[in-house]
Amino acid sequence: MNYSTSQFKNGMKLMLDGNPCSIVNNEIVKPGKGQAFNRVKFKDLITGKTLEKTFKSGESLEAADVMELEMQYLYSDGEKWHFMDPGSFEQFDLGEESMGTALNYLVEQDNCIVTLWNNNPISVSPPNHVTLEVIDTDPGLKGDTAGTGGKPATLNTGVVVQVPLFVAIGDRVKVDTRTNEYTGRA
C-alpha cells in the first residue's frame, strides 16, 4: 500500500530508505514560480533520528507495517528484555540497543508501549510518568536551604535523578520519563 504526498499527515508510518519512519511534520511549499513540494520531517523508528526530505507533490511512499501495542514488561535475562501482549499472551523480546531510555524507567510488571514493525519489536516507550524507589542518595543536611538544584539520587532501575534535599533512601518518587525530572513524592 502506498501513500501519496497529498495523503501525508503527522504520525503516518512510512518506509524510507528501507527503514520504518513516522511523519513528524509535513509542510507544503509552493514556490511562486515553481511546482509544489512537500518538505517532510521524519523520525526513523529504529534509530530514533529525525531526518528531513523534500518530495515533488504527487510522489508516494510505501506504508510501513507498524503497530504500537500496550504490553507488560516481564523481566530481563541480562541480554534480552521480555514483554507480553496481555491480549494474546504473546511474548516479545528486545535487545539493549532497541530499549533506548526505557531501560532507565521500567520495572517488572510495568505497562509500556512496544512498537512492532512487521510483527518484530523495534522500540519501547515507557509511560510518561513512573514511580520508582530511591536506593541511594546522600542524607539531606538540616538547615541547608541554599541549594536549589537538590542532590542526585539513584533509583531502583539504576537511573540517577536530581531530587530535593528532603528525599531519603527508601522513598518512592515520581519521575517524568521524557525529561528525567523528579515531579514529586509518591
Residues of this chain that interact with other proteins (CB under 8 A) are 17, 28-37, 39, 52-56, 59
HSE toward the beta carbon, residue 89, CA cutoff 13 A: 0
Torsion 128-134-135-138 (CA) sign:
positive
Phi-psi region of 149 (alpha: psi -120 to 50; beta: other; left: phi over 0): alpha
Least Å distance between CB 66 and other proteins? 20
Least Å distance between CB 38 and other proteins? 10
Least Å distance between CB 93 and other proteins? 32
Which of 41/82 has CB closer to other proteins? 41
Which of 27/96 has CB closer to other proteins? 27
Which of 44/171 has CB closer to other proteins? 44
Which of 14/175 has CB closer to other proteins? 14
The answer to whether 82 touches 95, Cβ cutoff 8 Å, is no
Query: Hey, what's the cell of 47?
Result: 534509530
Least Å distance between CB 117 and other proteins? 20
DSSP state of 97: H
